[in-house]
Structure 1
Amino acid sequence: MTQLFKLATLGLSLALAGCQAVNTTSGGALGVERKQYMFSMLSTDEVNQMYAQSYQDLVGKAQQQGKLDTSSADAKRLQQIAKRLIAQAPLFRADAAQWDWQVSLIKSDDLNANCGPGGKIMFFSGLITQLQLTDDEIAAVMGHEIAHALREHGREAMSRAYGVQMATQLGSAFGVDAGSLQMASMGVEYLMTLPNSRGNENEADLIGLELAARAGYNPQAAISLWQKMSKAGGGAPPEFMSTHPSSQSRIASLQAAIPKVMPFYQQASGRR
């Protein structure tokens, strides 16, 4: 076991040697500050371009299948909510003002939404209709997903995956058997990738909360949203085995942060 740990640690050390520490966003009022290690040969622009192509492929396929919704009331709601949230994004990173933001609504029963690198937002209609989301709750979801893009969590995950790859390649070079390689790879994943992924979710929760509040959406909606998501999700895996925080800890973290962002919501509401 000691040999496997050393192997995994060596792989991670070599991977980090090819990374650079960056600050992708400002910390905001909630102080979301953390040095992120990005693989230096994988730039922001390259990741954004790669994802933009994948996004266009998905949207094009949905359009061909008659699943791209551009005219319904929900589609119009999404566009309006996105417009207000996107206007606040440069407060966290200035270059977001130059991103080619896009918003798509896909007709699907999936309870899902995402915002990929470079500001490519995708919602699935089931999330809105099945959970009967209000505008404030949609803003909570969208703010969370936009935060992932602002913090470049996708590029960060790709950089972490390089550490797993390095550990596996080193094991093969040293003649480690397949079973041990799998254990080493799993060790890297649980010691590095999953905890940081949970951290990423917490960051997205907090930045998204502030983003929505600054855009004039009630931050209290984040609580009702995750309560709805918890009921819809049924039994969730234990928190230490999941990339997502448990509903209870997530809600507790949001409740603690809401008083700090409520003034932004009140100020924005007063301007409307």
Structure 2
Amino acid sequence: MKCIASLFLIAFGLPTLTFAQLNPSLMQAGLDAINSATLSNDQVVQYSRQAVQQMDAQNPVAGPNDPYTQRLNRIVSRHRTVSGLPINYKVYKVKDVNAFATADGSVRVFKGLMDIMTDNELLAIMGHEIGHVINHDSRDAMKSALRRSAIRNVAASQSGIVGKLSRSQVGGLADNLLGASFSRRQESEADDYSYDFLKRNGYNVMALATSFEKLAKQNGGGGGSVTQILSSHPDSKARAQRVRDRARRDGLVR
């Protein structure tokens, strides 16, 4: 799920630039770049980092001595690196029930999510979101958004190097972090990654199921702000049952 669905971490969908915003003499070169230039993984990481930095600047980030930060640090103390990827965690003091992870290893958890989840459920959600990163879902979504929005400048067509983004373009990418949808297959694979992450590290895998069940309750009008993470997981009950069935097959629950 997307970040919260960091359990179920997280999503995209950028606004496109209009032709009026492009210099006509560069328009064709820009279109050619979109069609032919290949974004490297390093470039995707760079853009993801820029977008997250802008989001951090625009949202209330819990400070190092804030109780929310201290709780999150305690929860993730063993998991500063996951599957070889260095992770940086922060809390947004926003009431929405949400979370997301990006291709550069940034994980952002919203206060509203922390308020309704146990420590293990938060780990399950973050595990799901990190699963999207490890499985390259976040990278591929960012590449697609970059191409759709035509934000690369003409230098890309001449050198294959993506140009520096303007503030508004980075802002579009930031919006994209909370707007994209993953396929059912991608969501199931991220669920499986979270399940395996919990099992491998000795946590109760049922935290993944109970997280989904809480999301289903929120989506059904149980209170709180229904954000992208909830609207993107209409089948939370079914996914919770899938986790329970797998745990039963694995002999982890009766």
The reply to whether TM is greater than 0.5 is: yes
Mark the CA change 1:42 to 1:124 in structure 2 (over 3 Å): closer, same or farther. same
Does 1:79 pair with 2:73?
yes
1:256 alignment counterpart: 245
- Three-state SS of the structure 1 residue aligned to 2:91 is strand
**Which stretches of structure 1, 4 residues or longer, exceed 3 Å deviation after superposition?**
158-165, 242-245, 259-263
Over 3 Å counting, the alpha-carbon distance change for 1:77 and 1:258 in structure 2 is: farther
Counterpart in the other structure of 1:108: 94
1:42 Cα deviation from its structure 2 partner: 2.0
SS at match of 1:105: strand
Q: Which runs of 5+ in 2 are unaligned?
A: 1-33, 150-179, 222-230
Alignment map for 1:51-200 (pairs within 5 Å): 51-62=48-59, 67-87=61-81, 89-90=82-83, 94=84, 96=85, 99=86, 101-129=87-115, 131=116, 133-158=117-142, 197-200=183-186
Tell me how large the CA RMSD over aligned residues is: 3.2
Letter paired with 1:136: N
Question: Alpha-carbon deviation of 1:45?
Answer: 1.3
Contact in 2 for aligned 1:82/1:142 (Cα 8 Å): no
Match of residue 235 from structure 2:
246
The residue number in structure 2 matching 1:214 is 200
Deviations 1:121-180 (A, max 9, x none): 000101111x2x211111111111111111111222345669989xxxxxxxxxxxxxxx
Aligned amino acid, residue 51 of structure 1: S
**Higher gyration radius (CA):** 1
CA–CA distance in structure 2, aligned partners of residues 86 and 214 of structure 1? 16
The answer for unaligned runs of 5 or more in structure 1 is: 1-17, 20-38, 166-192, 236-241, 264-272
2:237 maps to amino acid? Q
For 1:108 and 1:162, the matched residues in 2 are separated by 27
> What CA deviation, in whole Å up to 9, does each residue of 1:39-95 have, x standing for no partner?
981222111111011111221333xx5x434323331221232232344x22xxx4x
By percentage of residues, which structure has more helix? 1
How far residue 255 of structure 1 moved from its aligned partner, in angstroms, is 1.5
Q: Structure 1 residue 243: deviation in Å?
A: 5.3
Does the C-alpha gap of structure 1 residues 158 and 57 become closer, same or farther in structure 2, counting only changes over 3 Å?
closer
Supply the AA of the counterpart residue of 1:111: V
CA distance in 2, matches of 1:247, 1:228: 9
Deviates more, 1:45-54 or 1:72-81: 72-81
Counterpart secondary structure, 2:90 = strand
CA distance in 2, matches of 1:243, 1:250: 13
CA contact (8 A) 1:201 1:245 kept: no
Answer 1 or 2: higher relative contact order, Cα 8 Å, separation at least 6. 2
Q: What SS does the corresponding residue of 1:144 show, helix, strand or coil?
A: helix
Matching residue's letter, 1:120: S
Alpha carbons of structure 1 residues 261 and 116: separation in structure 2 relative to 1, 3 Å:
farther
* Letter of the 1:83 counterpart: S
TM-score by length of 2: 0.61
Aligned length: 181
- Asked if structure 2 preserves the Cα contact closer than 8 Å seen for 1:209 and 1:261, the reply is no
TM-aligned CA deviation for residue 113 of structure 1: 0.4
